[in-house]
Amino acid sequence: MKKDKVTIYDISKKLNISAATVSRALNNNPKISEKTRALVAKTATEMNYKQNRLAQALKNGRTNNVGVIVPYINRSFFSSVIRGIEEELTPQGYHIIICQSHEEAENEIEQLNALLNTQIDGIFMSVSKTTQNTDHIKKAMEEQTPVVFFDRKIDVEGVSSVVLDDFKAGFMATEHLIDQGCKKIAHLSGDINLEIYKNRYEGYKADLQKYDIEYKDELVINTSSKIESGMQAIDELWKLKDKPDAIFSAGDYAALGAIQELKQRGIKIPEEVCVVGFSNEPFTKYMELPITSVDQTPLMMGKIAAQVFLEQVKGDQALSIEKKVVLSPELFIRDSSSRKILNLSDGV
């Protein structure tokens, strides 16, 4: 077994004085005589005792560490939000500790408890797809650890959040496709139990209504954020008698799968079918056929989330401030949906 670390309890045993005295001596508490202080210091050195800032933190409740919990670190969106949080908090002396939930509520709870046990000063999180219960978040609040949600939130009183206007994003994406002349727009929706996907879907529906285009349930396919899922969606949609002339995907990976499957079938993009994705993953612009996508301004989202946290820890009323920030999406129009630009350059 690994040898246990030397603790103040070991020193107190060796010197036959109380652990509290050892602790005070190590922290240069004036109540302790110089003689005792010197003896404790000497013994601590001999025993290879490493004083721990954490023990200090246990006393004053601060570690300057903050935790971030995301579903996955390998999605450009999440790593960019983390970057934004780091850019704001690192100059303030904070260290950023990252954990992944892998979209499992159980992992999220475990990770949150592990973070609480390391005495962090705050938690930023984007909840997992499977999170329903909010007890773990309430527990953090009870322990006076501020929580800030970003992108994906769940209703907990007193928790601030920084999210995207996903309804507007869905609306914009659909409007762009209508503007390209598309009339039968399919939607690859993601899990609409999650607020973000529900809002994108609602934006899509609202925009169809605005242009008097009939909403058809058969054109909405529930997909996961995987390439294969986008391929399967096309498979399903192309079984319909009346095939779509556009795809608005709530995720870039499903959009990529859709494009691959459409090409496989010899369908021309954007001439026959326009495609729009969501998240502005870097690969969308590297493609030979760059993919139009909604940018969620993740760097900004991280920075604002960090600012909300700083306000809370510096403010007088700590956790009583509940802030809800909603950011505006940006649509990056690229070749996968640019009939007009394409025609223009064709004409030149």
Choice between 202 and 224, CB closer to a copy of itself: 224
Least distance in angstroms from the C-beta of 127 to a copy of itself:
18
Distance CA 190, CA 198 (A): 8
User: 171 or 309, CB closer to a copy of itself?
Assistant: 309
Residues near a copy of itself (CB under 8 A) are 1-5, 7, 9, 12, 18-20, 23, 48, 50, 52-55, 57-61, 63-65, 72-74, 76, 79-80, 82, 86, 90, 95-100, 102, 107, 110-111, 114-115, 117-119, 121, 142-144, 227, 256, 260, 282-283, 286-289, 312-314, 316, 318
Distance CA 271, CA 144 (A): 56
Q: Which residues contact 103 (CB under 8 A, 6 or more apart)?
A: 71, 72, 128, 129, 130
Q: How far is the CB of 230 from a copy of itself (least distance, A)?
A: 12
**What whole-number distance in Å separates Cα of residue 236 and Cα of residue 192?**
19
Closest approach of Cβ 21 to a copy of itself, in Å? 9
Measured from the CB atom, is 227 or 274 closer to a copy of itself?
Answer: 227
For the bound state, the minimum distance from the C-beta of residue 175 to a copy of itself, rounded and expressed in Å, comes to 28
| DSSP structural state of residue 212 | T
Compare residues 98 and 154 and give the one whose CB is closer to a copy of itself: 98
Q: What DSSP assignment string belongs to 39-78? A: HHHHHHHHTT----HHHHHHHHS--SEEEEEES-TTSHHH
Residue 221's φ and ψ, nearest 5 degrees, are: -115, 130
Place of tokens 């039968």: 184
Q: With respect to a copy of itself, which residue has the nearer C-beta, 36 or 260?
A: 260
As measured in angstroms, the least distance from the Cβ of 263 to a copy of itself is 9
